[in-house]
Amino acid sequence: MTERVKCAVLISGGGSNMQALAQAALDEAYPAQIDLVIANRPNAGGLDKARRFGIQAMCIDHKDFENREKFERALHSVLHQAGIELVVCAGFMRVLTPWFVSRWPGRIINIHPSLLPKYKGLHTHRRALEAGDTEHGASVHWVSEELDGGAVIAQAHVPIAPGDTEESLAAKVLLKEHPLYVRALRSTAQKILESRGKN
């Protein structure tokens, strides 16, 4: 059996990017396997999608914890016990604190709907339109202690048409996000496997 990197995907909503990754991981030649999906919201639609792939899916509701660190300690414990090697954020609407990031150095990736370093944070499509940009897109990047500030792994570009709205631009970017994340996770997991072989 091919050696693969054990991944957990963190979601908050419908999990369309997670679904694209799970679909790719059905191929045993794909270097990442999705072992676990965790949502921070009990009504996240991505949980049922994950279960349909036969992936263990669970909710750790951030509202059950009195502060961010207690939530992250619970999340860290579950990931650690599951033997997870790479944490994949896919529409996970929680900013991870330095406490958590420092415990997973070089082991958390995220997808962000802009061409980083442009438009870190929220409302990226609106900001690109307001700036009069001619192109927009998505970036997969390493998660660092700075919000959306880690090194970029891969990007996909989308032209902005004269009549684009926030909604139409968001839809175009999302279509690019799925193959981008599949490609970026493949290259990231491959590098982890290669470095493992050198140790």
Q: How far apart are CA 171 and CA 138, in angstroms?
A: 12
Active site (annotated) includes residue 178:
no
* Orientation of helix 166-198 relative to helix 16-25, angle to 10°: 40
Which of these, 70, 100, 99, 97, lies nearest to 8 by C-alpha position?
Answer: 100
- Burial class from Cβ neighbours inside 10 Å (0-12, 13-18, 19+) for residue 176 reads middle
User: Catalytic one among 112, 125, 136, 178?
Assistant: 112
Catalytic residues: 112
